[in-house]
Chain A
Amino acid sequence: MAEKPVETELSRDLTLFQITMMGLGMMIGAGVFLGIGNSIFVAGPGGALLTFSLNGIIAMFTALSYAELSSAVPRAGGAYNYARIGFGQGPSFIAGWMEWFASSVAGSLYAVTFAIYVVRYLEVLHLMIWWPFSISIAEKVLAVCVAVFFFSINYRGAAETGKIGAIMTLGQTLFLLVIGAIGMVVVIKDPSRFQNFDPFLPHGWSKLLITMGFTYVAFEGYEVIAQAGDEAIDPRKNLPKAIIFCIFIATITYVSVVFAAVVAVKAGSPGVTGAPWEWIGQFRERGFGEAVARLIPMGNFLLTLAVIFASTSALNATIYSATRALYALGRDQMVPTFFARISLKRKTPWTALATVGILVLTVIIFLPVIDVASSASMMFLLLFFLVNICVIKVRWHMGDELKYGYLMPLFPVFPIIAIICQAVLAVWLVHMSLIAWIVVPVWIFGGFGIYRYYSKFHYKPTEHDIIVLEEDEIVEADKYQVMVAVANPENSIKMVRTTRKLCRAKNASIKLINMVRLPDITPLPNLDGHLLPGREAILEAMLYLEPFFPVTTTISHCHNVARGILSTVRQKRINLLIMGWHGKPRSSGFRFGSTIDPIIERCPCDVVILKETGNGLFNRILVPIAGGPNSSFAVEIAGILCEDEGIICALSVITDSEKFSVENFIDSQYPVSGLNGENIITKTVHNADVVSAIIEEAKNYDLIVMGCTRKPSIYQIAKESIPEKIARLSSKPFIMVNKAQGVKSLIKRWI
């Protein structure tokens, strides 16, 4: 078998149809066939219909979260990737670890389901007489054989996996829809069968929670679509579509099939005792089959065929999903890179596939599959829970940094409803399987151990969106780190003097960075033309800064400049970010621009934005004060930039309702800002129009330094903030500052 460490890529050849069918294949597995009879037994005919409808809606809410995240992060790994972006490497490892386990064990469940149904049908045909061993051995042998067959299919490549899966899934879905359609025709011909729904809920509404709990497994599976991020054609468009289509088709299929099952049996017909729903319910798992046998000729045979189709397509999809989860862990070196090896010939992750194979076969042969499958269900619910939190956090925290292909409506209502519902269902699973409550913690704690002693030290993120093209790195870890983002030589020169003063005051080392935004199609060998302005900008700045400070330089390629800068700030643990602002009018949805806005809102370090500061001397600086942490920072920055004999004026504009003393505020700043008070004056102006008052006052000054507003950005999009208006309307050089929010910032980062 040809092999090579992580240099090759997965082939991108799965169409929208194929990935939709893969998701459906994993969803329409054994769950629905076993669940319908049980639902009718526990909750009655209307309860069964409500069970599948309500589960579909809950699943749709989580599917919207998956759709949004998969469009923004279209890479193999699914929940693992989302947790990495939302919560960092520790939770992401646990997410990937759980996903790998859950998918693998679900795969073994489907293999065993296939074997059980086939062996039973062979028994009916008296073909098992020649078998010398027990039936359970026959089931295990058959389960191992079918699993090995589908591992070989998965090794052949994603396209083959998708094609085989698509054909099987299409077959089973059409079969179920035909049953649903026959049910409709039957009831139109004989409307008396509507009476089968009376009583609608014979045991009351409370039984719904029970049936929803044990049939939710039929709605797990669409996450396999998120795993296809590296292999789907046009993933930003196709992944969210496939996920949403998949849930919709499955829900319609389930509801129509339940309807058909209930109306399939005519009250009083031969062999039917009691109400039709009671008669179907008494067969429990086989109830659906018994009902279908009365609806269409050879119903039992066709149903067995459908179960075979369903189990095998679900097995195919779970193998695919588990393999990609392990591959993603290996790709990021969370587990040894051995697991991320890709076959040069087939372009499939063969080592991950083989490992999943060993796990699936072990479970098939040695473990009680039903209980471990309950553990898998519980892990899926925990994963969905995590993904719903992730979608909220990622949108709030990185909404401006990621390129989205889809955004859910009414955000964050749907993820919050899904979180609550899934928590209830996860707790309910406790009553279904005690072993699940042993297996799940053991596996998760095992994962924590591996992360603590291996992954934490080997983890290497692969930031596909940000590629460092040129880097001249000299790290001085203990120094205060200032990062200066330069765009071009002109902007670079204008920022030099201010940067020098700030860095001298902080005794800082400087990182000069230029982010090159390139269209996706630009090939790397043709980058020279794009790199030139950045190189010149950095050289210009270095001429003036390198003699005084330790300077490192980086030119990076990214698809989103704000994201590139923020990622570098996080990775390099920068203390202060300095960047320029062109001062152009606001564009749709942004106050200062698509780069500055996210940086002001999300940057974990202090930020100083310069507008037209040039290289002049600042003898008179106006600092409009409102009293918040950014006002303190503005006073500190003004103190650094003001010339020795200069004057800083702390200005407070008081409207009628406010009571703020700028004198008391400045007095409180002396100990923290290092100012001595000799060159600070305070002034209070009473004016209802704050902006006009500040602009009028600024006419006598060389520079305005002002803190950013801390109002949520949604308010600021609707209405211009005061700093924004002043920055636009004033012709004076302007500096806007934003102080990192410490603990508040940390909390904000976590939700």
Chain B
Amino acid sequence: MNLEIILGIIIIVGGIGFMTYLVYWSRKAINQIADKDLNSAREIIGNFANGRKTS
């Protein structure tokens, strides 16, 4: 297996994995924002930051 194939597989798998994570993260974020009835960008960022601290 040459370097091109290894790099290619890393890019494809990594890219799709990254996209999957983005979709998962975004879905979770959208539901959280809706559930907590958050409004402004600052309020949402503050809430997420608090969530990270407490978890």
User: Which A residues form the contact surface with B (CB < 8 A)?
Assistant: 46, 49-50, 53-54, 56-57, 60, 64, 67, 71, 197-201, 234, 236-237, 240-241, 244-245, 247-248, 251-252, 255, 395, 399-409, 560, 588-590, 594, 597-598, 713, 717
Contact = CB atoms under 8 A, between A and B. Distances in A.
A172 B41 CA distance: 38
A241 B50 contact: no
A376 B44 CA distance: 36
Contacts of B29: 406-407, 409
Given A201-B4, A404-B41, A588-B47, A49 B12 contact: yes
A251 B19 contact: yes
B8 A403 contact: no
Contact of B4 (A64, A199, A247, A407): A199
B8 A49 contact: yes
B29 to A, nearest CB: 6
A244 B8 contact: no
B30 to A, nearest CB: 5
Given A67-B26, A201-B4, A407 B44 contact: yes
Given A395-B41, A594-B40, A588 B22 contact: no
A214 B41 CA distance: 36
B19 A248 contact: yes
Contacts of A50: 8, 11-12
A409 B47 contact: no
B26 A244 contact: yes
A405 B15 contact: no
A251 B16 contact: yes
Contacts of A71: 30
Nearest to A59: B19
Nearest to B5: A200
Nearest to B8: A46
Contact of B41 (A241, A247, A400, A409): A400
A326 B7 CA distance: 46
- Which 9 residue pairs across A and B have the least CB separation, nearest first? A589-B46, A399-B41, A400-B40, A200-B4, A588-B46, A200-B5, A589-B42, A53-B12, A46-B8
Contacts of B47: 588-589
25 contacts: A46-B4, A46-B5, A49-B8, A49-B12, A50-B12, A53-B11, A53-B15, A53-B16, A60-B19, A67-B26, A198-B2, A199-B4, A241-B30, A244-B22, A245-B23, A251-B16, A399-B40, A403-B39, A403-B40, A404-B39, A407-B45, A409-B29, A588-B46, A588-B47, A590-B42
A517 B6 CA distance: 58
A594 B4 contact: no
A201 B12 CA distance: 14
Interface string B27-54: 1011101100011111111110110000
A237 B30 contact: yes
A402 B43 CA distance: 11
Contact of A240 (B15, B19, B30, B38): B30
A240 B22 CA distance: 12
Contacts of B26: 64, 67, 240-241, 244, 406, 408-409
B42 A400 contact: yes
Contacts of B49: 589
Given A54-B15, A200-B2, A200-B4, 14 more contacts: A46-B4, A53-B15, A201-B4, A236-B34, A241-B27, A244-B26, A244-B27, A248-B20, A399-B41, A400-B42, A405-B30, A560-B39, A589-B42, A594-B40
